[in-house]
């Protein structure tokens, strides 16, 4: 990240010239190559580097899926990737992009799970939040575009105030810090960044009714523009509480008016499942739902 400070000029021309050189907090303009930040966790024969390592291809066939993970763990920040999902008939497949503390029963986890579907049906993205071992907070949104036709950016912003899941800078999920009301929030455990492509036709598409058509295999998903900005753990102890980290800034502590309108639009027009309103699973409304997540 680049920050530039300037002194005030005493005339309009000088001010305009200075504004041309002011750099606001933005994503890294030179995303890392795959092997700079990640390593393959399983089935390396099913992951292929493209474009000099600036992109990768994940493969799922009847023999195996595959996965990769970041070399480091992070506590707060933002991670984003551009992903192009499996085209055509992808029923029964799951392409996952998530953060995980890898601490078993008390894990923290922030999930994007892209649930494949039959040709012509919308792709569904499922998000979930685990805090101090408690999950089962699934929400599902049907994407409003074809995510297999081109790359789209999927991001997770994580700071002390909330976790926000973004699709092309449109927020689709906000999980607020309601610790003051006794609700756990993921803030103590560093998390790694993971992705997998795997078979899940026992549940992924219409609750498991739609199975993988292996005649369409192999299935491919593509990734590029890997961007992680956050506090590496272990690292300087002051990083995670530093209010000057751009992701902790006032601008990122809440949705601005434009993002709030986009968020409402997604929730009204594209949300297809919310655990908060599922009375079969949750006869008693979960406390974070009452608190306003």
The catalytically annotated residue of 109, 210, 229, 248 is 109
Is residue 109 annotated as part of the catalytic site, yes or no?
A: yes
Q: Which two tokens stand for residue 145?
A: 């575009």
| Distance between CA atoms of residues 209 and 23, nearest Å | 51
- In the numeric block, the tokens 């919308």 are attached to 122
The rounded Cα 260 to chain-centroid distance in angstroms is 18
Is residue 248 annotated as part of the catalytic site, yes or no?
A: no
* Burial environment of residue 223 by CB neighbours within 10 A (0 to 12, 13 to 18, 19 or more): buried
The catalytically annotated residue of 113, 199, 229, 248 is 113
| Distance between CA atoms of residues 224 and 246, nearest Å | 23
DSSP string, 145-175: S-TTTS-EEEEEEE-SSEEEEEETTEEEEEE
Q: Where are the alpha helices (DSSP H) in the chain?
A: 12-19, 34-37, 257-269, 287-291
Q: Which two tokens stand for residue 164?
A: 């926000």
* Burial environment of residue 48 by CB neighbours within 10 A (0 to 12, 13 to 18, 19 or more): middle
Residues 6+ apart with CB under 8 A from 101: 73, 107, 108, 109, 186, 189, 190, 191, 192
Instruction: Compute the C-alpha angle 34/204/150, nearest 5°.
Output: 45
The DSSP code for 283 is S
Which residues are catalytic, by number?
109, 113
């Amino acid at each position: 990240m680049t920050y530039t400070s300037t002194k005030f000029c005493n005339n309009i021309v000088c001010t305009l010239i200075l504004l041309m050189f002011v750099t606001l907090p933005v994503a890294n303009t030179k995303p890392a190559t795959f092997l700079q930040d990640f390593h393959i966790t399983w089935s390396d024969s099913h992951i292929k580097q493209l474009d000099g390592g600036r992109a990768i291809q994940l493969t799922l066939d009847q023999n195996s899926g595959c996965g990769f993970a970041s070399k480091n763990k992070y506590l707060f920040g933002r991670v984003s990737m551009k992903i192009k999902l499996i085209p055509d008939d992808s029923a029964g497949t799951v392409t996952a992009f998530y953060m995980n503390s890898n601490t078993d029963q008390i894990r923290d986890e922030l999930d994007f799970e892209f649930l494949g579907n039959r040709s012509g049906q919308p792709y569904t993205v499922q998000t979930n939040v685990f805090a101090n071992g408690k999950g089962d907070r699934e929400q599902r949104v049907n994407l409003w575009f074809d995510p297999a036709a081109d790359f789209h950016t999927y991001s997770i912003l994580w700071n002390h105030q909330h976790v926000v899941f973004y699709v092309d800078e449109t927020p689709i999920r906000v999980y607020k810090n309601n610790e003051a009301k006794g609700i756990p929030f993921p803030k103590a455990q560093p998390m790694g960044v993971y992705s997998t492509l795997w078979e899940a036709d026992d549940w992924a598409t219409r609750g498991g009714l739609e199975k993988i058509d292996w005649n369409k295999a192999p299935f491919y998903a593509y990734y590029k523009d890997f961007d992680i900005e956050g506090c590496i753990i272990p690292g300087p102890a002051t990083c995670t509480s530093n209010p000057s980290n751009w992701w902790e800034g006032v601008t990122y502590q809440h949705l601005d008016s434009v993002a709030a309108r986009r968020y409402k639009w997604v929730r009204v027009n594209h949300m297809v499942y919310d655990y908060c309103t599922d009375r079969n699973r949750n006869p008693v409304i979960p406390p974070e739902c009452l608190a306003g997540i």
